[in-house]
Structure 1
Amino acid sequence: MQDSYCEILLPFASSPEVLDRHTNASGGIRTGLLMEHLDSLSGSIAYKHVLGPKVPALPPDAGFYIVTASVERLDMLASLYPVRDMRLSGQIIHTGKSSMEVAVRMEALEKDGREQTIMVGRFCMVCRDGRTHRSRPVNPLLLDTEEDRQLYNIGEVHRRRRQTQADRSLDRVPPTASESQELHSMYLNYGQEEKTSNLNEDVERVWLGDTRLEKTMVMFPQERNVHQKIFGGYLMRLAYELGFANSCLFTRGHVTFVSLDGISFARPVPIGSLLRLTSNIVHSSSSKDYPALVHVWVHADVVDLETGTEQRTNDFRFTWCRETGPPLKRIVVPKTYGEAMQWVEGRRALEMGSEIRKLRKRQ
């Protein structure tokens, strides 16, 4: 596993030039740009695993290419403030026939030499044959130490969990009994458009479709990857920034990033194409830890200019929160069955995020 290890050092505290390129409107660090770096780092790690640690660069006749298939999770464990030097690092922890799971970590480097983990996550990379574009086998991992075996087992657990989640996807099976009950309760309390008597005067109902926020952009060659397609990390940053803006509009204030709950890359985005990013708030709630918690779904579609048809390329799911202030009084309510399924998916994502945060607190 250590043969694939890579790291990037971002000297925010010691380099004003680097800090300036990454500063957001509040004077902090642009989280979306850090995600872009993590995607690039994951690609480097995957190539290093396939090529071997002694190969200094990707040969022009390598005969294969590696793409990001999905991002399983990215969880923010601590604040990016105050601004400090950051180290982004990662390595392969699990391999399949043609897939690789990359575990990444972002750490703040304190002046006294201590390190604080800021963000952790997992990227799934896949190897493709350069001529046939079919899956190509990757090197299996040699498990030299007990720590290697533990990490590999964690990757195996993640693989089985992905299969379980796919099997219970709402594209395949209906919601569970408890989820159906929640939906029915939502309908009775908030979902009847002609009846508002059940609404608490302190609660504002917001139809899910009314939370739509989108942007359409031309994809320029400056954002290309080594395969002459638009870099996936750049798309991740665009989706993050649109989702952040939508969350701020919905909560009517500044929000803090909690987690990236999943990204799927269905197909590449060509240079010169017209890309439409569409976001919706699909679930909102309040909890003891977070007065406001919102889950955002962002879709990326390539638009055919001649026909006007759209083809889905990416799905992004994010969670943002407000850590102080009164509980959120705006409630997202679905109108259609399709929106109701999005609402259930958002509820599942928030529940999983809550369970993961509880486990980490106990550790």
Structure 2
Amino acid sequence: MDSPNEGLPDGRRAKVSPITRNALLVSSSALPVIEAIVRSIGSKVVVKREMRRTARPKVIAGLVFTETVMSRRVLGLSLRALRALPRRHLTTDAAPVQETRDVISMDHLLRAVRLRADPAFNTVIPMRTPESWADAVLHQSDAVAPTSGSASQIQQPMQRNMHDSYCEFVLPFGSNPKLLEQYTNVHGGIRTGMLMEHLDSLAGSISYKHMLGPTVESLGKIQDRGFYIVTASVDRLDMLAQLDPKRDLRLSGQVIYTGRSSMEVAVKMETLKDGAEETVLLGRFSMVCRDASTHQARVVHPLIISTPEERALYSMGEDLKQRRQSQALRALSRVPPSSTEAAVLHGYYLQHGQEESKDVDRVWMGDTCLEKTMLMFPQERNVHQKIFGGYLMRLAYELGFSNSSLFMRGGHVRFLSLDGIAFRQPVPIGSILRLTSHVLHSTQSAEFPLIVHVGVTANVVDVQTGEERTTNEFRFTWCRDEEPALVPQRKVVPRTYKGAVSRIFRLVFVDKKQRRCCGWRGSVR
């Protein structure tokens, strides 16, 4: 008989109940969330009881629960169901199957936590107080130098419930044709870039709601509240299903994890029709709180974890933060490629990269460059008088979409995911922004005949010296649905070391992406 621990990572072995080999000891408080997840994957749940006194922490599917009660429940799971449970790995990279399970589990957990939120405050979204650009400039010039005893530094953090930060708003596309017209793209669908702009704004409002409380509707002046919040990064935005312009769209989210000065925010989009809900997108934002006077890290309010669902979400947020930090330390901009990565790249060069190659489908990465240069106006500013991050996301998305469309040579291009955004520095009002995009990798899968990964870099240009400073980096993935015979299979080949490094990053990522994309369809409905 197979062991129920088979497939679990080292250090995450679950204890086997003496009642049955295919059973796990589960704390009574953890049972509801595990039952919900198991039912969602169609497995049979058998609940039995066993009396045992223990105070040692238990690891259930990678989550640590401390049992302090005498009553124990044994959840009888088949080996197939055990393998289907979401597992938390504190590793530097998540396996594709694990990431798929994480997304599915997060969707169910967010829905459970949403039900605890007070409906009276669900649509309360802290917004920026209207202020003219002239007044904003005047207030900046009148700013007082920071002092060690400023009010913003002596306020003490207070605990917040996870559902206190829940926010939602609905775009009534199905019932408001005039609104739909403002979001319609050339194919009759919905402009995804505009929705990304809303999601970034929503993540900021959720963070402010966590800091200010569930009843606050206006942010007020930054000098009065003593802090401001910025988007540090976007971990992922995964499109789980295609958008339906005939249905209303609900955008929602909440804080799922807090560090000392950072917050992990989960957001989602759902289509609504006749009482039915379908999740079409899930994403994670990393937000950072800064002191208004010193611009240093500001302590955020910690979360109160009161249910198994909240504990599971908190663990996911913590793992996301640790994984992101680990990946940053191992980035190819800091450490050289491994011997395996170098060997893979060299093999690809021997096959496609030589100048005399007869490969007619080869496209040099440098030849896929597409640029856009813009002047940044104050109408697109955020609460701390810099260019709004969501606006930059939309600009990068639209440039990346254009590049992928040109590379695929027409046809319907479908967005799959935003694979990551790094917000290195703010973009000042009045600066010149240069967006540069490249096709980093192209591949195919059993489900998608052509998948294209596009990178977009945002640089601020110094008008006097001409020097450029990178402020943002974006990574997107698009695909085409046509039959393979109708799609030209083109291969992107790097010509420079910089391009080769970019390709290594995509080669590491692409296999995970392909298997993850195949798991989306039908997974979350």
Q: Same fold (TM over 0.5)?
A: yes
Which residue of structure 2 lines up, in the alignment, with residue 113 of structure 1?
Answer: 275
Deviation at residue 324 of structure 1 after TM alignment = 1.9
- Note if 1:339 corresponds to 2:499: yes
Identity of aligned residues (%): 61
Which residue of structure 1 lines up, in the alignment, with residue 75 of structure 2?
Answer: none
CA distance in 2, matches of 1:39, 1:269: 16
Give the alignment partner of residue 244 of structure 2, picking from 72, 81, 95.
81
| Residue-by-residue CA offset, 1:27-51 (whole Å, 9 max, x unaligned) | 1100000000000000000000011
Which residue of structure 2 lines up, in the alignment, with residue 174 of structure 1?
Answer: 336
- Note if 1:295 corresponds to 2:459: no
Larger deviation: 165-174 or 120-129?
A: 165-174
**Given that residues 173 and 245 in structure 2 are in contact (C-alpha distance below 8 angstroms), is that contact kept between their aligned partners in structure 1?**
no
CA distance in 2, matches of 1:357, 1:155: 22
Deviation at residue 328 of structure 1 after TM alignment = 4.4
CA distance in 2, matches of 1:273, 1:224: 12
Which residue of structure 2 lines up, in the alignment, with residue 44 of structure 1?
Answer: 205
Which residue of structure 2 lines up, in the alignment, with residue 26 of structure 1?
Answer: 187
Deviation at residue 272 of structure 1 after TM alignment = 1.1
Task: Provide TM-score, normalisation by structure 2.
Answer: 0.66
CA distance in 1, matches of 2:502, 2:406: 20
Alignment of 1:1-363 (within 5 A): 1-60=162-221, 61-110=224-273, 112-193=274-355, 195-197=356-358, 199=359, 203-253=360-410, 254-326=412-484, 328-357=488-517
**Given that residues 285 and 328 in structure 1 are in contact (C-alpha distance below 8 angstroms), is that contact kept between their aligned partners in structure 2?**
no
Which residue of structure 1 lines up, in the alignment, with residue 33 of structure 2?
Answer: none
Name the amino acid aligned to 2:339. A
CA distance in 2, matches of 1:244, 1:265: 20
Deviation at residue 360 of structure 1 after TM alignment = 5.3
**Given that residues 283 and 346 in structure 1 are in contact (C-alpha distance below 8 angstroms), is that contact kept between their aligned partners in structure 2?**
yes
Larger deviation: 173-182 or 153-162?
A: 173-182
**Given that residues 29 and 83 in structure 1 are in contact (C-alpha distance below 8 angstroms), is that contact kept between their aligned partners in structure 2?**
no
Identify unmatched segments of 5+ residues in structure 1. Answer: none
* Larger fraction in strand: 1
CA RMSD in angstroms, aligned pairs only: 1.5
- Give the structure with higher Rg (CA): 2
CA distance in 1, matches of 2:205, 2:512: 29
Deviation at residue 59 of structure 1 after TM alignment = 2.8
Task: Provide TM-score, normalisation by structure 1.
Answer: 0.95
**Given that residues 204 and 331 in structure 1 are in contact (C-alpha distance below 8 angstroms), is that contact kept between their aligned partners in structure 2?**
yes
Tell me the secondary structure at the aligned position of residue 277 of structure 1: strand
| Residue-by-residue CA offset, 1:331-360 (whole Å, 9 max, x unaligned) | 000011111001111223323323444565
Identify unmatched segments of 5+ residues in structure 2. Answer: 1-161
Name the amino acid aligned to 1:250. F
Tell me the secondary structure at the aligned position of residue 53 of structure 1: coil
Between the two structures, name the one with larger relative contact order (CA 8 Å, sep ≥ 6): 1
Deviation at residue 220 of structure 1 after TM alignment = 1.0
Distance 1:328 1:121, change over 3 A: farther
Tell me the secondary structure at the aligned position of residue 506 of structure 2: helix
| Residue-by-residue CA offset, 1:107-140 (whole Å, 9 max, x unaligned) | 0002x21111000000000000001111100000
Tell me the secondary structure at the aligned position of residue 304 of structure 2: coil
Tell me the secondary structure at the aligned position of residue 225 of structure 2: coil
**Given that residues 422 and 472 in structure 2 are in contact (C-alpha distance below 8 angstroms), is that contact kept between their aligned partners in structure 1?**
yes
